[in-house]
Amino acid sequence: MDLAGNVLAGFQVSLQPINLLYAFFGAGIGTLVGVLPGIGPAGTIALLLPLSLGMPPVSAIIFLAGVYYGSMYGGSTTSILVNIPGEAASVVTCLDGYQMARQGRAGPALGMAAMGSFIGATLSIVGLMLIAPLLAGVAREFGAPEYFGLVCLGVMMLVYLSRGSVLKSLISAVAGLILSFIGQDLFTGDDRFTFGVVELKDGLGLVPLFMGLFGITEVLANLEAPIRRQVYDARLKNLFPTAKDWLDSRGAILRGTGIGFFLGILPGGSAMIASFAAYAAEKMFSRHPERFGTGVIEGVAAPETANNAAAQGAFIPLFALGIPPNVAMALLLGAFVLHGIRPGPLMMEQHPQIFWGAVTSMYIGNAMLLVFNLPLIGLWVRILKVPYKMLFPLILLFSVIGALSVRYSPFDVVVMILFGAIGYVLRKMEFEATPLVLAFILGPMLEQALRQSLIISHGSFTIFFTRPIAAVCLGLTLAIVIANLVPLLRAGRKVIAAQETGD
Amino acid sequence: MKARLSIVASIVVLVVLAVVLSRSPLAAAEKYPVRPVELVMPFGPGGSLDLQARALAAVAMQHLGQPFVITMKPGAGGTIGTAHVARSKPDGYTLLLTATGPMSISLQLEDTGYTKDSFIPIALLNLTPPVVAVRTDRPWKTLEDLLTHIRANPARVVYGTTSVSGLTNLANHMLLQGAGIQASLPTVPFKSVGDQLLSILKGDTEYMVQIHSGLAAYLRSNQIRALAVLSEKRFPVMPDVPTAKELGYDVVASQWMGVLAPKGTSPEVVDTIAKALGKMVKDQSFVTMATKMDIPPAFLQPAEFQEFLEREYQKYGVAIQRAGLKKK
């Protein structure tokens, strides 16, 4: 009842011409930042923060929020076209997106990414409006044991991400885990595997690592066979997803929205994890999981929908609790603070025009993004026609700038080049880089949550069974292990599948 | 196609030029400052030091005659950026905005590549005290209640911190030692104040010691209760909360922020910057921003700041020894 009035009041704020303009500029800058690998939304918001000080508070939030969700649109572009994720949240989009581009279907892939993003984001905003106050409670239920359960579940899903041999992806994941040990131990303050290198105290950077493994490796691998490109130049006519694409993707988009929204709300959950989870889920639900990674449209729709849904969901803990779930949100919190507003339980009462104005502007911003992203597809696709001799140096240049921009450290450039070489060797030996990156991200979360839980419980493992959310997650993890390991069960599943298709 | 490519190429060239130019500004100095001054901020984006740097940059031009260009150099608890400035040319064009951790604590724990004598203090900008806090519905109404609870349950009370070798954890050690509690508590480290707060609100950890500005919103909305503030005098932002000192525990700590220059910077330059900073922290727009951040400005001149730093160094040195966080 109150909701309608609030939404209306919100639109009165967000539809003011000046705020429309800010939403447009924010989303536009975000898209650009998303397209450029290495330059992330967090760094951009930091740069734009001083600029926003001169704006009225609502406009500043509308503008900076636009940069954040706008970047989720752009991130898929380079993933699909050149196999370099524009954002961390688009890493998994490379798997099928780039294969689609190789088959001459870059247009439908980009189109589906944009449409999925729009649907995921707008549905997520509805969720944000309806249940921001209620869901704040759910986020609060997540303590260390719950995270441990959730991450365990995520690690098990990792197995589904791999294309090739299970053994090789396990080896790759373990390598990622070992790499994640590098750096200062949060619990004792001791250095682990830093060998006295100061730059390693905070661990290896995620950005140089994945730009090396995905970007540099891709360039190296393509240098071997430069002629292949010509093949799909000719077939770039169909720029939009076909009816069959839509049919194939509808489940992925709906599930991606749900997964993204939920993972976005959790503190510590991020658009990146959401995209991995959605891809893994789609592979599980699919009737042809073996075709994932060869260029199926669901493999693009799921992660791109999920990361946008998560990006919108991430506003919930910030708005409702005042707790930023990621760095970009932490910067947005900074922007609020500089304007004298504390996000949190009191904000919706004290500054309703800011909350509702910002939320409704996200609708408008997403609609704008869709409108100007669809026509851009034709332009992006033409980048594929740029000859390799021009494209590769540019990719390398942007990669170096990107690695450098994280903390202005030449060390990170060295790390990136090193992992480019490692990635090339891994690819030659048919190891997947994705499990490595995922383990690198999830490993520290797993370790922290485990150790935190055990300190809280005074060393007792029962904490994982007495807390319901943790118990359910660990139960599901166990179920996946059993389903995979017991051949009898697997055989049984095949029989059922055969019966279904037989009917 | 060619045209588009040349646009891309020229953008790249512009970006590279911009980076190069901002790094090596045109040389030669007449009367300091003749070009923008680089202010190195050794922590990540969005933190209170970052916001402070941006608030300073907003008023630098009118009081210094040149803008502050903020360079973020995060890593290893602020020591990477701090070491970078220690190695920089002492010409007044590279300054450091730093805080308690890198200047008074980290360098006593490990080899950071600089000592307290690698810098010339210019000005202290603010001091914010740590607060001992619990969830509002917990039965402990005073600091004494909490300490009694800890004494009654030795090594059972779970405490959350954001850095085991950081300022707030040292302050907690100092408090427990002052109260004669020898047993070490189960200590859960968190990556951020947000996580630390969530565990307090959820009830997984029982109490916390954290800098006031990070907790201000939660104190105001009455979700957590401040039992004591660890400052010399009561903190003006919350005058009702007693200091630990007046409750009989002589524990004083603070998160301070200040500007320093590399050793060898000329006294004239230091004086010029100190005077300008003195005006900046009184600038109405800076005061407004600082107040909104819950970090009220304070100010110490170079000489006073030098003495202050000396005392801080000694104080945390003793605390580190007693806490058993040995110097390497």
Q: A74 near A34, Cβ under 8 Å?
A: yes
A340/B contact by beta carbon, under 8 A: yes
Closest partner residue to B58 among A50, A184, A186, by Cβ?
A: A50
Helix, strand and coil content of chain B, in percent to the nearest 5, comes to 45, 20, 35
Q: Which residue has the higher pLDDT, A351 or A455?
A: A455
Q: Is A286 helix (H, G, I), strand (E, B) or coil?
A: coil
Quick check: B71 and A408 CB within 8 A?
A: yes
Alpha-carbon distance B40 to B42, whole Å? 6
Alpha-carbon distance A107 to A122, whole Å? 22
Quick check: B45 and A43 CB within 8 A?
A: yes
Burial A22-52 (b: 16+ CB within 10 A, else e): bbbbbbbbbbbbbbbbbbbbbbbbbbbbeeb
Quick check: B75 and A409 CB within 8 A?
A: yes
Q: B286 near B109, Cβ under 8 Å?
A: no
User: In order of start, what are the domains of chain B with their CATH numbers?
Assistant: 36-128+255-323 (3.40.190.150), 133-229 (3.40.190.10)
B72/A contact by beta carbon, under 8 A: yes
Whether residue B13 is predicted with pLDDT greater than 70 in this model: the reply is no
Q: Which residues of A touch B15 (CB under 8 A)?
A: 401
pLDDT in tens, A326-368: 767 877 887 887 777 777 666 776 778 888 888 899 989 999 9
Q: A93 near A79, Cβ under 8 Å?
A: yes
* Partners of residue B38 on adjacent β-strands: B69, B94
CA torsion angle A90 A95 A101 A107 (round to 10): -50
Please report which residue ranges of A240-339 form alpha helices under DSSP H: 243-265, 271-285, 298-313, 315-316, 327-338
Please work out, in degrees rounded to the nearest 5, the angle formed at the alpha carbon of residue B117 by the alpha carbons of B111 and B123: 115
Mean predicted confidence (pLDDT) in B273-297? 90
Alpha-carbon distance B213 to A464, whole Å? 34
Closest partner residue to A323 among B47, B77, B198, by Cβ?
A: B198
Quick check: A189 and B202 CB within 8 A?
A: no
Alpha-carbon distance A208 to A410, whole Å? 11
pLDDT in tens, A460-501: 899 999 998 899 989 988 887 777 666 555 555 555 555 545
pLDDT in tens, A204-238: 887 788 778 877 887 787 777 654 444 444 455 56
Q: How high is the pLDDT of residue B137?
A: 93
Q: How high is the pLDDT of residue A56?
A: 85
Lowest mean pLDDT among A230-244, B8-22, B138-152: B8-22
Task: Specify the residue for token string 């752009």.
Answer: A74
Quick check: A456 and B204 CB within 8 A?
A: yes
pLDDT in tens, B304-328: 999 999 999 999 999 888 888 765 5
Please work out, in degrees rounded to the nearest 5, the angle formed at the alpha carbon of residue B299 by the alpha carbons of A332 and B47: 20
Percent of chain A with pLDDT over 70: 84
pLDDT category, B97, cuts 50, 70, 90? Answer: very high
CA–chain centroid gap for B157, Å, is 28
Number of A/B CB contacts below 8 angstroms equals 143
Closest partner residue to A202 among B76, B188, B201, by Cβ?
A: B76
Whether residue B192 is predicted with pLDDT greater than 60 in this model: the reply is yes
Mean predicted confidence (pLDDT) in B5-18? 58
Percent of chain B with pLDDT over 70: 90
CB contact residues (below 8 A), chain A span 192-231, against chain B: 198-199, 201-202
Closest partner residue to B292 among A142, A337, A409, by Cβ?
A: A337
Look up residue A452 and give its two tokens. Answer: 């935190």
Quick check: A140 and B8 CB within 8 A?
A: no
Query: Model-level pTM?
Result: 0.73
Q: How high is the pLDDT of residue B117?
A: 92
- In chain A, count of helices (H) and strands (E)? 24, 2
Look up residue B202 and give its two tokens. Answer: 């959820």
pLDDT in tens, A4-43: 888 888 888 888 999 999 999 999 888 888 777 656 677 6
Q: How high is the pLDDT of residue B198?
A: 84
Q: Which residues of B touch A141 (CB under 8 A)?
A: 202
Closest partner residue to A187 among B164, B199, B223, by Cβ?
A: B164
Alpha-carbon distance B75 to A431, whole Å? 32
Quick check: B292 and A322 CB within 8 A?
A: no
CA–chain centroid gap for B294, Å, is 13
Mean predicted confidence (pLDDT) in A403-420? 85
* Interface residue of A33, A407, A411 to substitute, partner B, most B CBs within 10 Å: A407
Alpha-carbon distance A90 to B45, whole Å? 22
Look up residue A388 and give its two tokens. Answer: 């390799």
CB contact residues (below 8 A), chain A span 356-415, against chain B: 382, 385-386, 390, 394, 397-398, 401, 407-409
Alpha-carbon distance A230 to A233, whole Å? 5
Q: How high is the pLDDT of residue B140?
A: 94
CA torsion through residues A191, B77, A441, A399, sign:
negative
Whether residue A90 is predicted with pLDDT greater than 90 in this model: the reply is no
Whether residue B216 is predicted with pLDDT greater than 60 in this model: the reply is yes
pLDDT category, A502, cuts 50, 70, 90? Answer: very low
Q: How high is the pLDDT of residue B159?
A: 93
Q: Is B151 helix (H, G, I), strand (E, B) or coil?
A: helix
Across chain A, mean pLDDT equals 80
Q: Which residues of A touch B165 (CB under 8 A)?
A: 189
